[in-house]
Amino acid sequence: MRLVVLGPPGAGKGTQSARLTQKYGIPQLSTGDMLRAAAAAGTPVGRRVKEIVDSGSLVPDEVVLKIIAERIERPDAARGFILDGFPRTVNQAKALDELLKAKNMRLDAVIELKVDESALLGRIEKRAKEMAAKGCAVRADDNPDAFKTRLAAYRAMTAPVSAYYARQRLLKTVDGMAPIDVVATQIDQAAESSVRI
Ligand code: ADP
């Protein structure tokens, strides 16, 4: 199973992707997590990545594409994967098509989580509070200023990715405002109705 989970910041991509990982026994490839790990490593590239991620802007395609190309080659991704936060631009989507084509692979489905924009900031602030209460590090981009930039980047660069996959007849839209387990059921139905293997 090869899935992409799409949606604005705070839509629940990470929550649902982690659950899909458990269900199907395939890895969650979160570019956000990979970029935060690169940033934490503190190399010169990592420091630049950190600055961009913390501001809420998108990291350049070539940086993300290199990370994804390497990650998809790892043995645990051979049976499938859940892409969480990637592709985020049409250029990334096209590059992913090429990467998969070269391996004789294709996506099974793209799940888009639809959430009212007015609910997103509240979700992100809630996550920041919960993380702080648990004594965990709060993401530097989970604040109103960076959120504004993330949402603007989503509207300008990522929303067109949905249309790209709709044209390929891969897009399945799920109501991300429903309770987590209801969203989960809808995703499972969408994923299972589209497996091509
Ligand atoms: P969210 O979708 O909730 O904003 P993510 O963890 O997916 O959170 O992404 C956090 C940040 O990481 C983004 O705002 C961006 O700076 C960077 N990022 C993640 N994935 C990509 C990508 N595919 N292309 C460019 N930048 C990315």
The pLDDT tens digits for 38-75 are: 999 989 999 999 999 999 999 999 999 999 999 999 99
**How many angstroms separate the alpha carbon of residue 128 from the centre of ligand 1?**
16
- Give dist(CA 102, CA 119) in Å, integer: 40
Buried b (16+ CB within 10 A) or exposed e, 42-65: eeeebeebbebbeebbbbebebbb
Active site residues: 13, 88, 127, 139, 150
Measure the CA–CA gap between 29 and 33, rounded to whole angstroms: 8
88 lines ligand 1 (CB under 6 A): yes
Give the DSSP H/E element, type plus range, for residue 112: strand 109-114
Q: Can you tell me the distance from the alpha carbon of 87 to that of 69, in angstroms, rounded to the nearest whole number? A: 12
pTM: 0.93
For residue 31, how far is its CA from the centre of ligand 1 (angstroms)?
A: 6
CATH number of this structure's domain 2-194, picked from the four choices 3.40.1280.10, 3.30.450.20, 3.40.50.300, 1.10.150.120: 3.40.50.300
- Tens digits of per-residue pLDDT, 34-47? 999 999 998 999 99
Residue 6, ligand 1, Cβ within 6 A:
no
- Whole-number Å distance between alpha carbons of 83 and 6: 9
